Structure 1
Amino acid sequence: MKKLFLIAIFCSLTIFQSWADDGKKYPTKDISAELRKDADAVVRFDDAVFTIVNKGSGKFTNHFMVTILNSNGEHWSEQVLSYDKLRPIKAFKGTVYDSTGNVVRKLKSSEIKDYKATQDISLYDDNRVKVATLTHHTFPYTVEFEYEYEYVGLVSYPGWSGLSGYKTSVENSSYTVVFPQDMNIRYKEFNLAVPVKKEIINGKNNYTWSASNLKSIKREPYSVPIFEQGPGILCVPIDFSYEGYDGKMDSWQSFGDWIYKINKDRDKLPDNVKAKVHELTDAAKDPIEKAQILYDYLQKNTRYISVQLGIGGLQTFDANYVATRGYGDCKALSNYMKSLLQEAGVTAHAALIYGGYEPSTIYQDFVNNPFNHVVLAIPTEKETVWLECTSQYNSFNYMGEFTGNRQALLFTPEGGKLVKTPEYNAADNSLIRSAKVKFDLSGTVAATVDAKYKCTRQDDLSDWTNMVSQGRVEKHLYETINIPSLRIKSFNYKAEKGSKPVINEHLELEFSNYINISGKRIFIQPNLLNRMTSGPEKIEKRRSDMLFHFGSTDEDKIVYEIPAGYTLESKPNDVVLKTAFGEFSSSVKLENNELIYTRKFVRNAGRFSAEKYNELFEFLTAISKADKSKVVLVGTAN
Structure 2
Amino acid sequence: MRNFYYWLIILICRTYFSYGQVTDYHTSVEIKNNKVETTYEIKIKINDRKESEKYSEVEIFHSDQNELKIHEVYLLDGYGEKIRKLKKKDFSERSAKFSNTFFMDYMVTSFDIKHNTYPYFIYYKYSITEESALDYASWDPYLYYKLPTSNATLKITLPAEEKVRILNDHNIPVKRSSDKDEITYLWQVNNFKLLEKEAYGESPTNLAPEIIVLPENFDYIKPGSYESWKSIGNWQYNVIKDRNDLPETDKQIVQEICQKSSSQREIISKLYNYLQNNTRYINISIDKGGLDPYPASYVSKNKYGDCKALTIYMKSLLEEAGIDSYYTLVNAGEEIQRINRDFPSLQFNHVILAVPVQSDTLWLENTTNILPFGYIGSFTQNRYGFLINQDQSKFVRIPKLSNEDIKVISTYDFQLNENGEGKATFNKIAKGIEYEELADLNSVSDKNLTEEYIDDFIRLKNYVVNNWNIKKNNEDNHSLILSADLSIKKASRKIGPYIILDVPHYRFKKLNIPSERKTGLKFDIPIYNIDQYIYKITNIDYSKIQLPNDKVLSSKFGEYKQNFRIEGDKLIVQKSLKIYSGEYDKKSYQAFYEFTDKIQEIQNQSIIKLQ
The TM-score, its normalising length taken from structure 1, stands at 0.87
> What is the aligned counterpart of 1:509 among 481, 486, 492?
486
The residue type equivalent to 2:223 in the other structure is D
Shifted more, 200-209 versus 385-394: the winner is: 200-209
> What is the aligned counterpart of 1:608 among 575, 579, 584?
584
Q: 1:272 to 1:305 in 2, by over 3 A?
A: same
CA shift for structure 1 position 431: 1.0
Is 1:273 matched with 2:250? Answer: yes
> What is the aligned counterpart of 1:522 among 487, 492, 499?
499
Shifted more, 589-598 versus 255-264: the winner is: 589-598
Deviations 1:132-191 (A, max 9, x none): 222222433222221111112211232222244444333221112211111111122222
> What is the aligned counterpart of 2:156 among 174, 177, 187?
177
**3-state DSSP class of the match of 1:64?**
strand
The answer to whether the 8 Å contact 1:348/1:376 transfers is yes
Deviations 1:87-136 (A, max 9, x none): 33122532222222222322332222211111647511222111222222
> What is the aligned counterpart of 1:335 among 299, 312, 330?
312
Q: What residue in structure 2 maps to residue 139 of structure 1?
A: 118
Distance in 2 of aligned mates of 1:84 and 1:634: 68
Alignment of 1:101-140 (within 5 A): 101-118=80-97, 120=99, 123-140=102-119
CA shift for structure 1 position 606: 2.0
> What is the aligned counterpart of 2:29 among 41, 50, 55?
50
Is 1:435 matched with 2:407? Answer: no
Q: 1:628 to 1:138 in 2, by over 3 A?
A: farther
Is 1:633 matched with 2:592? Answer: no
The residue type equivalent to 1:81 in the other structure is I
> What is the aligned counterpart of 2:515 among 536, 540, 556?
540
**3-state DSSP class of the match of 2:442?**
helix
Q: What residue in structure 1 maps to residue 541 of structure 2?
A: 565
**3-state DSSP class of the match of 2:218?**
strand
Shifted more, 127-136 versus 494-503: the winner is: 494-503
Q: What residue in structure 2 maps to residue 241 of structure 1?
A: 219
The answer to whether the 8 Å contact 1:441/1:517 transfers is no
Distance in 1 of aligned mates of 2:205 and 2:268: 40
Q: 1:123 to 1:179 in 2, by over 3 A?
A: same
Is 1:157 matched with 2:136? Answer: yes
Is 1:168 matched with 2:147? Answer: yes
Give the total of aligned pairs: 601
Alignment of 1:251-270 (within 5 A): 251-270=228-247
Distance in 2 of aligned mates of 1:498 and 1:199: 67
> What is the aligned counterpart of 1:40 among 10, 19, 22?
19
Distance in 2 of aligned mates of 1:163 and 1:543: 19
CA shift for structure 1 position 539: 5.3
**3-state DSSP class of the match of 1:123?**
strand
Deviations 1:202-243 (A, max 9, x none): 721111111123367433323323344343322222101225
CA shift for structure 1 position 424: 0.8
Distance in 2 of aligned mates of 1:69 and 1:613: 36
Alignment of 1:215-364 (within 5 A): 217-243=195-221, 245-311=222-288, 313-364=290-341
Is 1:212 matched with 2:193? Answer: no
The answer to whether the 8 Å contact 1:430/1:454 transfers is yes
Distance in 1 of aligned mates of 2:301 and 2:196: 52
CA shift for structure 1 position 483: 3.9
Distance in 1 of aligned mates of 2:475 and 2:124: 52
Q: Identity over the aligned pairs, expressed in percent?
A: 26
Q: 1:299 to 1:167 in 2, by over 3 A?
A: closer
Distance in 2 of aligned mates of 1:360 and 1:533: 23
Distance in 2 of aligned mates of 1:32 and 1:609: 38
Q: What residue in structure 1 maps to residue 5 of structure 2?
A: none
Distance in 1 of aligned mates of 2:497 and 2:475: 51
The residue type equivalent to 2:83 in the other structure is V
Q: 1:410 to 1:604 in 2, by over 3 A?
A: same
**3-state DSSP class of the match of 1:159?**
strand
The answer to whether the 8 Å contact 1:396/1:497 transfers is no
Q: What residue in structure 2 maps to residue 372 of structure 1?
A: 349
The answer to whether the 8 Å contact 1:355/1:371 transfers is yes
> What is the aligned counterpart of 1:88 among 67, 71, 81?
67
CA shift for structure 1 position 37: 3.8
CA shift for structure 1 position 497: 8.6
Shifted more, 492-501 versus 376-385: the winner is: 492-501
Distance in 2 of aligned mates of 1:587 and 1:38: 54
**3-state DSSP class of the match of 2:443?**
helix
**3-state DSSP class of the match of 1:332?**
helix
Aligned Cα root-mean-square deviation (Å): 2.9
**3-state DSSP class of the match of 1:191?**
coil
CA shift for structure 1 position 257: 1.2
CA shift for structure 1 position 576: 3.3
Q: What residue in structure 2 maps to residue 79 of structure 1?
A: 58
The residue type equivalent to 1:206 in the other structure is T
Is 1:424 matched with 2:390? Answer: no
Is 1:456 matched with 2:433? Answer: yes
Deviations 1:463-499 (A, max 9, x none): 1112343332222224664545523233222234999
Is 1:66 matched with 2:41? Answer: no
The answer to whether the 8 Å contact 1:398/1:500 transfers is no
Distance in 2 of aligned mates of 1:216 and 1:393: 37
Distance in 2 of aligned mates of 1:436 and 1:102: 70
Distance in 2 of aligned mates of 1:345 and 1:312: 33
**3-state DSSP class of the match of 1:209?**
strand
Distance in 2 of aligned mates of 1:216 and 1:121: 30
Q: 1:491 to 1:288 in 2, by over 3 A?
A: same
The residue type equivalent to 2:269 in the other structure is Q
The residue type equivalent to 2:309 in the other structure is A
The residue type equivalent to 1:78 in the other structure is E
The answer to whether the 8 Å contact 2:36/2:136 transfers is no
Q: 1:189 to 1:31 in 2, by over 3 A?
A: farther
**3-state DSSP class of the match of 2:157?**
strand
